[in-house]
Structure 1
């Protein structure tokens, strides 16, 4: 028997495997798994590849996964001398008549709290009922797909009665000055205002963040207290760090000071993201334009990603690189949303919108025209675009982006200054 020690590294080798059996959206309802240990025993190469693909999914980021060659006998032999994990996934070709007797040696060495998922070849409802009566957590008929396996694991270890996790929306610019922060702030305000949804805006650009300026706030505490003292972080501590911007929008502000170096390891923001998801239905993450371990980690964990670009060559190149990198980090998630900003700036040579999008093989979720007066007035007054001019094309665009990012509308081809008329039939709130 040989064992594969499977360690997850963000983006590692994800592009080397075929993921065409998983469609975008298949895994949207599967919640991230807790810190559990899983041993998978695979009799076939196909099952081994499937488990490798499961291990590379972001929902398994906290899971310790080992993939082993062999079936029930191999598992019984291994656990005769070592303790059993939280979950064993077993592939077996055993005849239903002898399956329970073959499982007996494994049952004798299994910890009572260990869960077992069996993947067999026989579609037999009587067998399924007998296995469940004898303590098997789930029986699945091969061939199985990755969403089925992850859903089965989640059904065992994620409490269905628990409060649903909030969704995290990450915004990043393809280059500096693209306006990603302004779009993140206006979308956060729009989501909270349009739908009366409790929303938290987290400004992750600690040295240069502008959320406090855009909302005319000067909080004494913010995200730096959370990231530098993760051991103190809980819902009560988070409430002390949040600043109320409106009835349903709270701000976790950046210090925007250069009194220290802000160097973080890859998982530095993970405790913050976890507490945000438990604290509000929507978290908007304003990510600075940089490529580090921690930004890759945050982008890998987010539910939705919005890339903001301007129609020039540097943005085109950087957006292409971002899309390629994120496809490797998030192989089972849908593509990020693309927002083209500052379109039509006077005297600036630009790449045509259709050429920009065709080069990337992606549709723009929104196209925002250059309007220095409107955006400048909003920034200088500490208000959002819709508060300055709610009838402007930009305000309409942010409203429609809020619908799109919260799942209240599906994406259609964007028009200049908006997302078209796709919301007309939905009855906007």
Structure 2
């Protein structure tokens, strides 16, 4: 692979100055003419590290737009390498069938300058994540479309649109950003940084960003890394190079991708913890547009298969019987696709086996599952055993479902005390009060629950037997039966609290949503 020499034409490298280094060159390119030279670089404060921070995380950490360094003397030519065609305004999604992909099937020019991507990642499948690409050129859109069709990307949900950075900013002003944003921009100067700052202000903290630029420039690359961008790619590219870049972000062996695990448990039997788990998982996938795997851990009496009208031949029990055999291919066969973004690991729901496994067996299986999607919902049974305790305390978030009675209050208090003692650095469990307002039934006031547990309920669900009964008998979720009901709104609210994301509002027109016109 031919090496790329980024500084050959800069005019201030004569090859004889032993003190000139990359940092000195970068300062000169950025226009910091008064910056200390390499000889004096140890006298002043160190430059900030350009570690891979979450792109939107710097906004969340500072409570808004950060006080960023402004490089007004950034002497880059703002003219893109090729004339950028204006994005068509008459369609929302990119149609790759209208364009031919005209890119060479050769190594990427940027590999030598930015570090060659590990080829061993190219055969690894990308997890179940949402990817949204905003391209300036139709040729790039066609390339992204071809990459999305690759076998390694079959789990990911990819959307491709034209419009570049402005379209991405407009799109996500009032909706959550996906797990990965890929944005093309031909700009190179302060205008690019201004738009990136605006994009960062609307990005969720966990969103990663890949920029496709026009220039193979190491100074620009370093500045983008400092601002939280995960990767910078330059043409010419192939679909495989895009896939490798994504794999490098999510399949790092030293930091493997792992979705957030949320454990749902009832304070006592019959309080509706499974109903809460199933509906919340559905809202995360459908309302928040994020992939989720629902794991029914009530092996003998699980109802997830019934609630989603599924009867799979293979279940979670098969994985627990032989956890060493569970790989990505087998897991794909065991998971049942309930919706486009919700997968179910169903319980066997039979009484012919004891289903008694040690906690480490559950750990092995659940570790595999949480690498499949950004969210994993665990529907725990109302039993108490070593594996239930271990799974509950090992989850990222705990949701306890109660009814407004004394037994629920006592058991919930015990659960809270256990969780708080074992997880002092984590937030308290979230409480869902279910079946509130049953006629003629004495109930403990909600404020008493809040005082005893030290936190107000995250959700109070009214007693609506007709709505919940109809959904259960039809194998549907509450939002499918009555999307305007208080219960449906409540589950959407709980999903937002758990995920840290906001639901995408109903759009009158995709065109008006995209362009605000």
- Normalising by the smaller structure, the TM-score range is 0.5 to 0.7
Coordinate RMSD, CA, aligned: 2.0
The 3 A distance-change label for structure 1 pair 288 and 364 is same
Q: 1:387 aligns with which of 466, 480, 493?
A: 480
Q: 2:279 aligns with which of 186, 204, 209?
A: 186
**Partner residue, 1:377:** 470
Distance 2:396 2:261 in 1: 5
Contact 2:288-2:501 at 8 Å conserved across structures: no
**TM-score for the superposition, normalised by structure 1:** 0.58
Please list the CA deviations of residues 36-69 of structure 1 after superposition, one character each: whole Å capped at 9, or x if unmatched: xxxxxxxxxxxxxxxxxxxxxxxxxxxxxxxxxx
**Partner residue, 1:351:** 444
Please list the CA deviations of residues 161-191 of structure 1 after superposition, one character each: whole Å capped at 9, or x if unmatched: 8553111111000000010000000001111
Please list the CA deviations of residues 366-421 of structure 1 after superposition, one character each: whole Å capped at 9, or x if unmatched: 00011100000000000000000000000000111111110126xxxxxxxxxxxx
Q: Which has the larger radius of gyration?
A: 2
Q: 2:345 aligns with which of 231, 240, 252?
A: 252
Q: 1:219 aligns with which of 290, 312, 329?
A: 312
The CA deviation at 1:237 is 1.0
Contact 1:190-1:402 at 8 Å conserved across structures: yes
Distance 1:272 1:332 in 2: 26
Higher mean alpha-carbon deviation, 260-269 vs 316-325, is at 260-269
**Partner residue, 1:321:** 414
Contact 1:267-1:297 at 8 Å conserved across structures: no
Contact 2:317-2:355 at 8 Å conserved across structures: no
The CA deviation at 1:331 is 1.9
Contact 1:204-1:288 at 8 Å conserved across structures: yes
Distance 2:392 2:354 in 1: 22
Unaligned runs of 5+ in 1: 1-28, 30-157, 410-422
The 3 A distance-change label for structure 1 pair 361 and 259 is same
Distance 2:405 2:361 in 1: 33
**TM-score for the superposition, normalised by structure 2:** 0.48
The CA deviation at 1:427 is 6.3
Alignment of 1:77-92 (within 5 A): none
Q: 2:334 aligns with which of 235, 241, 247?
A: 241
Please list the CA deviations of residues 311-332 of structure 1 after superposition, one character each: whole Å capped at 9, or x if unmatched: 0000000000000111122121
**Partner residue, 1:154:** none
Please list the CA deviations of residues 320-347 of structure 1 after superposition, one character each: whole Å capped at 9, or x if unmatched: 0000111122121110101110001112
The CA deviation at 1:160 is 8.9
**Partner residue, 2:267:** 174
Please list the CA deviations of residues 138-176 of structure 1 after superposition, one character each: whole Å capped at 9, or x if unmatched: xxxxxxxxxxxxxxxxxxxx9598553111111000000
User: How many residues are matched?
Assistant: 258
The CA deviation at 1:303 is 0.7
Distance 1:357 1:334 in 2: 15
Alignment of 1:35-114 (within 5 A): none
Contact 2:449-2:456 at 8 Å conserved across structures: no
The CA deviation at 1:268 is 2.4
Distance 1:208 1:161 in 2: 38
Distance 1:233 1:428 in 2: 39
**Partner residue, 1:304:** 397
